[in-house]
Structure 1
């Protein structure tokens, strides 16, 4: 709840507005006696685990390793000679020797022999893959291409953007075709936040070899500049003629629009186009209708390929907000193929743009491309095609298959780390064990996670199946005996509440955010105090947020409050639960006409909240089926969002 938007003054003001609400809520009813189940969940190891002095030292070692404190890790590791997880002790001792205090790889490390010994001893494990990732960063920084090329193919996860850039550097140095390498680079260089030094070196090298144009390099630098990475911007593309316009658009896009309208003729056609694209992006993020105008000017000039990933995506959103389907179509057609293919949103909205043009057959073909996906856009596509959003047939696994999972090394190690509240390490071990599993094995692993009450692993594991599914595992309902009477008291839709909890905490009872939200429903302390007072919960203190029943009671009542305050819109209320009611209202007030809920959700300015709202609503549809056997309409739940001043006669 409001995890990244801890603006207490706004929250207090909003909560003050809610005092006018009249809600019939009562003290929570005691949970009903739990029904007997065919397979009783075992007690979670987290509830029975007792921390030892060695465990506490191990956690200290892990924290010191995260800071790359060489001296501290050496001392702590030496005191853990007989600790059960000797590979982690060794890793935490070696890793700080590979990086400086800022987390940058050290080319001058003398730990190569230790790394090789580790890789040989623990080959095939999750931690060895992590160590290889670290060492490859060192080898790339050192420009030791022969060793890099030997080790890189062994890196199983291959999820590090910097390493992809180093791999392209190595190929370039070996004389591979720079034009081909530049094509590969375009699929990698999408988000400057992950470029590191490796990608900043690659781009000028490709320009020097003739594989990439100076304009493309400046475009990548501009993408960094849009995020405020000005040093990176210059390293990638050199001095940019519109760098000051980028700064101005970041600070005040409305003023930048006005100023550039007067000054545009001073710039080349290319620079005019990219400047309008940057201004359009920042106007769109402010939900300013002039974004459509800016992007139209850019579209008329061309150079779509020189817009950043953000610029290309917000061009679509600006068109959606303005109901400018021609701009939506042109924006998607002009996208970098790697950008277009990474998110089903663009396939769905392209189909809608084609339909708006009357190209119904082509629209149907594009809808079919995403209709088999079980996400927000897959659900929308199925409804557009006249298909049901009912979950697929359930594939069951037998007890024997489930019990075999109990002996899997990665699961056992993961459970121990979860019990120590080391979720990062636990997830690494658990997810590594899932690699190469069949769908039935994944379902057995999910059932095993359910039996030991690791509900986030239930969801994570069941979500991976491709052909055989069990949506009762993808969308589990733990704590149903506790939540059902709470929701019933205030007439809160139980499927929606579960959809929200699945997104908020993945049912991790002790989940906490960086700004203090806690528990299953991620209740903020100030919100907890307000809601407790509002519903007459006496003797409330914030330490009680860890109590499951209290957390569910406060979170459910708060969700119901914002729902009432926002005219019963699940879209607005879900956004309010994540980002705060004042923001949800402000986004609504920016509307110039009634807007379908899917477009409103797609154009929410905050990435976290945009993703959150889509996932919560999509979750709720499947929860309705899992719990009640009901097939509900996502479009109906999304509804139409009207400006606050809109009259009923204005509705479509």
Structure 2
């Protein structure tokens, strides 16, 4: 029924759209091809809801050519479109050009109008303040030294100034070199190394050798390598890099030279080796982390320290690792939950209860688990009242929403999504719920979820967790003996119910199936004449996707956690991540080595609980669904397909 309503609404909107649509599309094509003459002809407003777009494309082309810039025309557009996403985008492009050219006066005037400046613009702003003699700029910029890994070019002069003004020490420079080399940002690591005191600057070629062939570099170290700071640092960098590819080999080489390092340097080396071992689920990781002691670690290293303790079943180690985390990390629901579990296991029931109370009451993975530890099952919150006529009218007449809807109608999904998201910022719950209802009516399901997900006090979970295409999904789930709530939970994570969704790696459709996987499934089913177009057909996509879910479920102990991991990362990896002993399902999920897959599995499993509450009227236990993951016993299933896709957030 809803699909029919959406079709009628889209037909009405299309009928109302004037022939100016052709002008918008022609202007877009001219902008893409760089045809400035054609673009100029389309730039003048003509009474279309998307008039700002041709004008933006024209002004953006001017900004790209400094000699063509007309500041008065830019400011007039920005003022006329104040608060709009295109104004933010155009001003950001203008500011980047001003920053590159060092036109700090104009930059300082325009920058305060930016609502969400990206990192490169923030660094240009620091440059502008320094050029204008702002004495506080460097103190405020100092955290960049420790936080930036991906380093925009605009940030390099700021970092250089921190060094020149002696606001970072040689030890802090070496720490940054290490971080950048760990992240394979070799070029920026060489920049940072060149700012060391003259007697500590390593040869750039040595940095490259330590990174490119760390085993050979370490095996050829001269006996006196430890006599200099650069010699020791390069050896540590090589050990860290080798640990990524050959963790045990890195540890063996470390043992040969550990006495050449200071205690702090030994802690760094062991911390790096333990981190890589933990991500490979090596049992030695927990021991190596303990040997590393209290050496400073990144948030990611510390998180894996806790995960290694979880895999080892060492609740005291779990508690110690989490309590050593920075507050910003320790207070995240993930670690609050596991700290609560550790406290409970160690007999600190009151402390555990306080932690569970702090994070309960939400539809997220660890919130649901925390509630269950308190003896509460997940319950849908009271449904907010529907939008009033005035609230619905406000949404429909909001210019950004109107532009987003028009862009979706023209199949300009990227631009439509950005307009929609920008229009949802700083909105109250009533606006968000009305926007979600409107998007649902139009069949723009991903934006309906996006808006409903943002509410803070009033909620409508039937909008947050939409269940469209039931006439397709439920029969396929039933015929394959799949839990419909799990299918919906997975599909929500994969595509947000966008039938034309396509990931960056080519996965397509509602269930985000890779072309090669679709062909593999079709072959298993004896289907002839497979072509990629099948994946764009919702009926075939759902049939192939649910078939694959049944296959991976049967090949992985009928365990939904393993099958969810397999859907995202492939069955081989899901098997590999099991332990040599039975493992609590939640610990298996938390210790998945791929960040994307770990997040994906948690969200799919939490989604399935909410969908069960919506579809069946009662939520099952998440902890029971997670169950126990049995030890690996070889690949008996013969299921060797790749994963269907990578799960679209569509946010």
Query: Fold match, TM over 0.5?
Result: yes
Tell me the CA shift for residue 502 of structure 1: 0.4
Alpha-carbon separation, structure 2, partners of 1:436 and 1:555: 37
Query: 1:498, 1:623 within 8 Å by CA — same for their partners in 2?
Result: yes
Partner of 2:505: 515
Partner of 1:30: none
Partner of 2:152: 196
Tell me the CA shift for residue 35 of structure 1: 9.1
Alpha-carbon separation, structure 1, partners of 2:431 and 2:489: 25
Partner of 1:489: 479
Larger radius of gyration: 2
Query: 2:2, 2:441 within 8 Å by CA — same for their partners in 1?
Result: no
Alpha-carbon separation, structure 2, partners of 1:420 and 1:224: 43
**What is the RMSD of the two structures over their aligned residues, measured on CA atoms?**
3.1
Partner of 2:227: none
Q: 1:295 to 1:59 in 2, by over 3 A?
A: farther
Alpha-carbon separation, structure 1, partners of 2:429 and 2:533: 41
Partner of 1:175: 135
Alpha-carbon separation, structure 1, partners of 2:483 and 2:630: 22
Query: 1:517, 1:524 within 8 Å by CA — same for their partners in 2?
Result: yes
Q: 1:484 to 1:417 in 2, by over 3 A?
A: same
State which drifts further: 613-622 or 636-645.
Answer: 636-645
**1:318 and 2:308 aligned:** yes
Unaligned runs of 5+ in 1: 1-33, 65-71, 101-105, 647-652
**1:457 and 2:447 aligned:** yes
Partner of 1:220: 176
Aligned partner of residue 455 in structure 2, secondary structure: coil
Partner of 2:295: 303
2:623 to 615, 635, 646: 635
1:262 to 251, 256, 267: 256
Query: 1:140, 1:166 within 8 Å by CA — same for their partners in 2?
Result: yes
Q: 1:454 to 1:351 in 2, by over 3 A?
A: same
Q: 1:586 to 1:350 in 2, by over 3 A?
A: same
**1:613 and 2:601 aligned:** yes
Q: 1:569 to 1:36 in 2, by over 3 A?
A: closer
**1:347 and 2:312 aligned:** no
Tell me the CA shift for residue 168 of structure 1: 4.8
Alpha-carbon separation, structure 1, partners of 2:330 and 2:412: 36
Partner of 1:67: none
Alpha-carbon separation, structure 2, partners of 1:180 and 1:526: 50
1:88 to 53, 72, 75: 53
**Could you state the TM-score of these two structures normalised by the residue count of structure 1?**
0.82
Tell me the CA shift for residue 163 of structure 1: 3.2
Q: 1:170 to 1:59 in 2, by over 3 A?
A: closer
Q: 1:292 to 1:403 in 2, by over 3 A?
A: same
Alpha-carbon separation, structure 2, partners of 1:316 and 1:97: 52
**1:385 and 2:347 aligned:** no
Tell me the CA shift for residue 601 of structure 1: 1.2
Query: 2:63, 2:93 within 8 Å by CA — same for their partners in 1?
Result: yes
Alpha-carbon separation, structure 2, partners of 1:254 and 1:226: 17
Alpha-carbon separation, structure 2, partners of 1:523 and 1:115: 44
Partner of 2:383: 394
Query: 2:24, 2:53 within 8 Å by CA — same for their partners in 1?
Result: no
Partner of 2:590: 602
Tell me the CA shift for residue 456 of structure 1: 0.3
Alpha-carbon separation, structure 2, partners of 1:628 and 1:479: 17
Equivalent pairs, count: 587
Q: 1:58 to 1:359 in 2, by over 3 A?
A: farther
Q: Output one character per residue of 1:287-330: Cα deviation in whole Å (capped at 9) or x when no partner.
A: 222222232222x2x232xx234323322222222233344333
State which drifts further: 48-57 or 149-158.
Answer: 48-57
Query: 1:77, 1:89 within 8 Å by CA — same for their partners in 2?
Result: yes
Partner of 2:409: 419
State which drifts further: 322-331 or 109-118.
Answer: 109-118
Query: 2:580, 2:632 within 8 Å by CA — same for their partners in 1?
Result: no
Alpha-carbon separation, structure 2, partners of 1:481 and 1:374: 26
**1:274 and 2:264 aligned:** no
Aligned partner of residue 192 in structure 1, secondary structure: coil
Alpha-carbon separation, structure 2, partners of 1:47 and 1:530: 40
Q: Output one character per residue of 1:89-129: Cα deviation in whole Å (capped at 9) or x when no partner.
A: 333344456569xxxxx9x9967565434323322211111
1:334 to 318, 324, 329: 324
